[in-house]
Amino acid sequence: MKRFLILFALVTLSISLRAQQKDSTKKTTEKQTAADSLLNSISADDQQEHNINAFKGTRLILGLTPVTIKKNNLNFMVVHRFGDMAGKIGGPQTFFGLDAVSDVYIGFEYGISDNLTASLGRNTIGQLIEGGLKYAVLHQTSDGKSPVAISLVGEYGVRPYGSFPDYGSRVSYLAQAIFASRLTQDFSLQVSPVFISDNTPIPNIPGNDKQFVTLEAAMKYKVSKHMGIIVDYAHPFSSFRTGANGFSDPLGAGIEVETGGHVFTLNVSNARANSEINSFSASQSDYARGQYRLGFTISRMFDFNHHKKDTAK
């Protein structure tokens, strides 16, 4: 079933790239809201009418989107996951997980250029500090000349605390290619192969792989101008990370909302960790055991470009 979902995502994307319609939306003059201003700060796509963004924000539920931050803009993010909603440690005793915390990520994304974004943040799980770069190689265009958006991501993660024999043992690396396409006005699809290298296996148990490849697939269905439904799934290709050894593929579903200058995502997922390095390396929570949790992502954009003041009287 897992491989069927992955194959379905790949086939759907390949078909869509050949049959991409050249239907452009009608250009109407509307008053710009605060949410529209935020979108104008995310990537250069929205500044140019012939470019398209498949997703509004820079993050999904489990991973990243190809969206980059506009030059000299700073995106502040808080990503939070509560405790288990059900199972042995969930239910009413923990207010269905709201009394507990699985992981918190606080980080920043800065637009070095319209196509290059630098990120830095810290996670609760493992006290993992991550730094990374995202580069937009290609943008999707409404004229059909480029039916897909492509971005490349590189991340470096280090765990400054805990017992490790040396500094190198604290380090993890991630390399990722993101392919996304808005297939119709309402439906978008993304496929993203991810390579992860952990100098110390996560979790550090005998037989676990230090290096492996994960394939992530996500979809979005827009239900209104400012809200969409997102589903995000990842499958690690690892001989050890299987159900027989207590691992489960991370899967999440939720809504993406633009509201008052923020991009807000509310979701439910079996993933405990917010970081791709942590989540894809050690996903051991299972829906069948009630190990799913509520999470949210909230981002706020700050524009450091020098805008000319209107001196007209």
Q: What is the pLDDT of residues 169-200, one digit of tens each?
A: 999 999 999 999 999 999 999 999 999 999 99
Q: What is the mean pLDDT of the chain?
A: 85
**CA-CA-CA-CA dihedral for 94, 98, 99, 105, to nearest 10:** 140
Asked whether the beta carbons of 157 and 173 are under 8 A apart, the reply is yes
Collect contacts of 234-240 with beta carbons under 8 A, ≥24 apart: 234/62, 234/63, 234/194, 234/279, 234/280, 234/283, 235/2, 235/3, 235/5, 235/6, 236/212, 236/280, 236/283, 237/212, 237/213, 238/209, 238/212, 239/209, 240/207, 240/208, 240/209
In the chain, the domains with their CATH numbers are: 2-18+33-303 (2.40.160.40)
pLDDT digits (tens, 9 = 90+) for 214-243: 999 999 999 998 899 999 999 999 989 998
Asked whether the beta carbons of 36 and 29 are under 8 A apart, the reply is no
pLDDT at 262: 75
